[in-house]
Every structure is written in structure tokens, then in C-alpha cells.
Amino acid sequence: MTPAAHKQVGELMETYFEGLHQADSTMLREVFHPQLAYVCATEGDELYLDLETYLARVDGREPPAKRGDPREEEILEIAFAGGRLARVSARMTMMGRDFHDFLTLVRHGAEWRIVAKVFSYVPRKD
């Protein structure tokens, strides 16, 4: 894929990580597709939400940034399948948990958007 596409996905991921850290649903709305599928695959905590239900949960949480939690995240892989489909594997730590996200991205107009967020987590080991 082109360097421009890698740059666009990298910028999307920066907004994604910052939006989660700030618990900012307006910022997250910029990276999610309107038809988002939000799936928690953690055994015993399986969850399937749409965009509006998920963002309402974000609005109801105390932002990790406000608690003074450091941002800890990493993009593990970005893979493209043509000009309209991409996958990002990422990990992050927040709210006392280590998360692993598989994000599926599609072109939405001129921009990349996350259409599926499938993740699991484990309690953080300190």
C-alpha cells in the first residue's frame, strides 16, 4: 500500500488512542464507521454493541487521562488488502487492563474508518 495510506491509518490510530485515553466520544466518532461492530471477545465478558451504545459507555466513564494514567499503546501490525480494506492489530493498557485490539478498517468516502473493533483483555499484572 502507499506511504500516504500508511500515514492516514497511523493518524487514525493516534486519534483512536487519544480518544480512548481522554474518553472523548467526539474524537472517537471521527475514527469509527457509523455501522461500527464493537465486540468484546474476553471469555465471560462477551459483548456486542453498536456505535451509539458504545459511545454512550465512553461518555459515562472517567477518562484515564483525568485519573493520571499514562498512555501505553502500540501498533503491532498494519495490513492492507487493496485500497479499501485494512486491518490493524494493536495493544494498549488502560483502566487496569491490558487490551489487544483487532481493528478492521474500510474506506468511508475519502477517509479510513474502523468498521469493526474486536478485542480481548486481561487484568493488568503489576
Q: What are the pLDDT digits (tens) for 92-106?
A: 999 889 999 999 999
Q: Which residues of 91-115 are buried (b: 16+ CB within 10 A; e: fewer)?
A: ebbbeeeebbbbbbbebeeeebbbb
Domain residue spans in the chain?
3-123
Q: Give me the CATH topology for the region 3-123.
A: Nuclear Transport Factor 2; Chain: A, (3.10.450)
pTM recorded for the entire structure: 0.93
In Å, how far from its chain's centre is CA 105?
Answer: 10
Model confidence at 73, pLDDT cuts 50, 70, 90, reads: very high
